[in-house]
Amino acid sequence: SQTIHQWPATLVQPVGSPLSLECTVEGTSNPNLYWYRQAAGRGLQLLFYSVGIGQISSEVPQNLSASRPQDRQFILSSKKLLLSDSGFYLCAWSAARTATFFGQGTRLTVV
Amino acid sequence: AQSVTQLGSHVSVSEGALVLLRCNYSSSVPPYLFWYVQYPNQGLQLLLKYTSAATLVKGINGFEAEFKKSETSFHLTKPSAHMSDAAEYFCAVSDDSGAGSYQLTFGKGTKLSVIP
């Protein structure tokens, strides 16, 4: 069966520091991969998606970037965090339009 | 462009009462629709989905939803609320941009409280 791993679960980082969140999927090949952000009272916002290695699409202009160095690995990064980057970040995968599966999320607090 | 509207950011029901969470969508293509549940500080768990087969869809934990094309709705119901149903619920529509990315567009969520 397929599983998705996302880490760390919580992170407190100072303003201006770098960020790296990692997500890996097991049990499937060539999944679509996604990064969503959830801010209080604002629902879920799609940040990036990838349909293959090295293929990244960005949905909103921002201080973040994403990379997909391997088929089942998706990384969210920032060179310098802003206060506004705080939120709950969710990695997800899908293999078809019929279902998308989410990781457990990372709570990022920028101080 | 697709969109999802969830009516009511907070809903409170008594334990044992009917749960009704509302979702309306707009879509330029036949929609695939989903309900997800989120417990505090956890990811989203798929409750049920509509993918153009039966219009009444049954999911986990006793929830079901009915797709009504004429009303562009996909409301979530459960006959009898349980304390463990207290969580946030998200309705979503799947986009098929043609590039195979299958992005989800979410509503803003409805927080369900269950009163003992």
Mean pLDDT, range B5-28, rounded to an integer: 94
The predicted structure's pLDDT at residue B99: 65
- Residue A94 to residues A17, A29, A33, A42, A49, Cα–Cα distance (Å): 31, 10, 7, 23, 11
- Indicate the pLDDT class of residue B97, thresholds 50, 70 and 90: low
Amino acid at site B6? Q
The predicted structure's pLDDT at residue A15: 97
Chain A residues within 8 A of B1 when measuring between CB atoms: none
Q: Which of A31-40, B16-25, B87-96, B97-106 has the highest mean pLDDT?
A: B16-25
CB-based contact A46 B46, cutoff 8 Å? no
Per-residue pLDDT tens over the stretch A11-29: 999 999 999 999 999 999 8
Percentage of chain B surpassing pLDDT 90?
A: 73
- Interface residues of chain A, partner chain B, Cβ below 8 Å: 6, 32, 34, 41-44, 46, 49, 51, 57, 59, 88, 90, 92, 94, 96-105, 107
Whether the pLDDT of residue A2 is over 90: the answer is no
The percent helix, strand, coil of chain B (3-state, each to 5) is: 10, 55, 40
